[in-house]
Structures are given as C-alpha cells and as structure tokens.
Amino acid sequence: SQTIHQWPATLVQPVGSPLSLECTVEGTSNPNLYWYRQAAGRGLQLLFYSVGIGQISSEVPQNLSASRPQDRQFILSSKKLLLSDSGFYLCAWSGGGDGYTFGSGTRLTVV
C-alpha cells in the first residue's frame, strides 16, 4: 500500500533562517506531488506541484522553492523565512485518480 511521510511534525524557526521540509512517498511510482500551506483558520493554498522528476510548477510567487530530486521525494525550501511563512505545510500525492493523500503535515512557526 502507498504511504506518505513528511517531517518534521513541528518546527520553530527564527526570521531569516533557512527552511527545508521533506516529503517521501512509498508504494507507488511517478506520483503527482504537491505542497500546500494552510494559515491559521484559513483554507489550503497550493504552493507547488510536480508531475515528474525535476518538474516543478509554482502556483504562488514567494520566497519558497521546491525541488524533486527523486521520483518519490519532494522538498520545500526557503533561503530566508518571513513571519508570514508560518503555517501548516502539507505534502500530498496523487496517482491521477481519486483525490489526494496527504502527509501528516509540518506546523511551522516563524518567530
């Protein structure tokens, strides 16, 4: 069966520090991968999606970037965090069929 792993679960980072969140999927090949962010009390905002290795589409221009160095690995990064980057970051995968499966999320607080 397919599983998705996302870590860390919580993170507190100072303004201006770098960020790296990792997501890996097991039990499937060539998944579509996504990064979403959910601000407190808000809906999910699509940040990036990828349909293959090295293929990244950005939905919202900002100080975040994403990379897909391997088929089942998706990384979200920032060189310098802003206070507004705080939120609940969710990685998801899709096989192109029914819906997404989400990882357990990373709760990021920028202080």
Partner 1 sequence: RKEVEQDPGPFNVPEGATVAFNCTYSNSASQSFFWYRQDCRKEPKLLMSVYSSGNEDGRFTAQLNRASQYISLLIRDSKLSDSATYLCVVNAKQFYMRFGAGTRLTVKP
Q: Say if residues 12 and 18 touch (Cβ distance below 8 Å).
A: no
Q: What track of x and - describes contact with partner 1 for positions 4 through 33 (by CB under 8 A)?
A: ----------------------------x-
Q: Is 4 exposed, middle or buried (0-12, 13-18, 19+ CB in 10 A)?
A: buried
Residues 6 or more apart in contact with residue 10 via CB below 8 angstroms:
106, 107, 108, 109
Q: Letter for the amino acid at 30?
A: N
Site for partner 1 contains 67 (CB under 8 A): no
Kindly tell me which residue out of 1, 29, 43, 61 binds partner 1, with binding defined by CB under 8 A: 43
Compare residues 67 and 101 and give the one whose CB is closer to partner 1.
101
Q: How many residues bind partner 1 (CB under 8 A)?
A: 23
Q: Which of 42, 60, 80, 82 binds partner 1 (CB under 8 A)?
A: 42
74 touches partner 1 by CB under 8 A: no
**Residues 9, 6: Cα–Cα separation, whole Å:** 7
Interface segment toward partner 1; rule CB under 8 A; list 17-25, 40-48, 60-68, 76-84: 40-48
